[in-house]
Amino acid sequence: MSADLALATHGLVKRFGGRAAVDGIDLAVPRGAVYGFLGPNGSGKTTTIRIVLGLASATSGDVELLGRAMPAHAREVLPRVGALVEGPAAYPWLSGAAVLRRFDAADRDADPRTRDARVGGALERVGLTAAAGKRVRAYSLGMRQRLGIAAALLVRRDLLVLDEPTNGLDPQGTREVRHLVRDLAADGTTVFVSSHLLAEVEQVSTHVGVMSAGRLVAQGPIDELRGAARPRVRVETPDVGAAHGVLRRLGLEPSVDGVVLTAEAPAVPVEDVVAALVAERVRVRGVALERPSLEERFVALTGEGFDVAG
Ligand SMILES: Nc1ncnc2c1ncn2[C@@H]1O[C@H](COP(=O)(O)OP(=O)(O)OP(=O)(O)O)[C@@H](O)[C@H]1O
């Protein structure tokens, strides 16, 4: 058992018919992390989350949730895990506080005498205290989503699992959810949040896992993933033909776009590239060593573009 991990899977597989929606993934979500579970639509994120929470069974492989094997220890572990899988809470005709009282009443372990304190505390944590008495119908989408998260926070949780919590939200709602995730993490809750939008989780995540067609194609601290992107050298020159020859002699494979030559992963220090160009009397307007953005790295990993703007 991995005590320092809030969630771990080993060789997790889920087949529907002959097709593997989840194809042997090894998740490692450290305690205290905000783990961005990224991947295009249909890459297997929701299926994975449903198995982790015991809502679906795996075809093969193991799941450890808070250090306990699932689904064998579901009854012991799940009360410490909050989840938002089905989107905003229903009951638009009730006030936010009344919705939470309903959820709390549905929990057989919840003492009715302390219900108001739990509801008040959950509303407070998601910043809905002022809107507690307002009908959910009058809530913005961001407020509804925060209410859904409040329902998952009625009791103290060690891990919060959010499946695409910003789906359908406007930029304001997205910001609200992002701030909430940050606040929860600051309080020591491990947060596992899925998204097909890199930009939405990039700012809050300490770790990321990238899914592509049922496989986990990258995983680790977000800074490590950033650092793993290999740089490229970019040269701007009016003497494109001559520059091309110099770069090739240095072992680079430049591509040309107008007066700009770009070569991936240069094995030569950039100052040597400049020296070689100047020695061949190539007139250089500009030279830069660029690191591909995380976005470009993910596109390279998944073969699909993330919808950055949302
Ligand atoms: N109950 C099911 N029966 C058959 N196929 C399914 C079932 N659930 C999911 N799939 C298929 O498994 C694949 C992965 O789906 P999943 O919902 O896990 O992806 P996802 O990454 O969460 O995408 P999305 O963001 O669209 O939910 C898809 O091809 C989907 O059609």
Q: How far apart, in whole angstroms, are the C-alpha atoms of residue 273 and residue 282?
A: 11
Mutate to test the pocket of ligand 1, among 16, 49, 164 (most ligand atoms within 8 A of CB): 16
Clarify whether residues 182 and 267 are in a common domain.
no
The verdict on residue 85 lying in a domain is: yes
Q: What is the pLDDT of residue 87?
A: 53
Dist. CA 32–CA 74, nearest whole Å: 21
45 lines ligand 1 (CB under 6 A): yes
71 lines ligand 1 (CB under 6 A): no
pTM, rounded to two decimals:
0.81
**Could you give the C-alpha distances from 114 to 44, 56, 80, 105, 109, in angstroms and in order?**
39, 33, 18, 11, 11
pLDDT at 304: 65
In a domain, residue 210? The reply is yes
Pick the residue whose CA is nearest to atom 28 on ligand 1. Answer: 42
Residue pair 209/43 in contact (Cβ under 8 Å)? The answer is no
Look up tokens 């926070």; give the residue: 153
Instruction: Please tell me the predicted confidence (pLDDT) of residue 171.
Output: 85
Q: Domain check: are 185 and 85 in the same one?
A: yes
Q: Is residue 305 part of a domain?
A: no
Same domain, 160 and 94: yes
Query: Which residue range is the domain that position 271 belongs to?
Result: 230-290
Q: Whose CA is nearest to atom 2 of ligand 1?
A: 16
User: For residue 14, what pLDDT is reported?
Assistant: 97
pLDDT at 310: 38
Question: Which of 208, 227, 246 is the endpoint of a domain?
Answer: 227
Predicted-complex ipTM score? 0.93
Q: Is 46 in the pocket of ligand 1 (CB under 6 A)?
A: yes
Mean pLDDT for back-to-back runs of 10 residues, the chain (310 residues): 86 94 97 94 93 94 95 91 71 89 86 93 90 92 87 90 86 86 90 89 92 94 81 93 95 94 87 94 93 79 58
Residues 17 and 120 in one domain: yes
Task: Tell me, yes or no, whether 235 and 196 share the same domain.
Answer: no
Per-residue pLDDT, 166: 85
Are residues 237 and 95 part of one domain? no
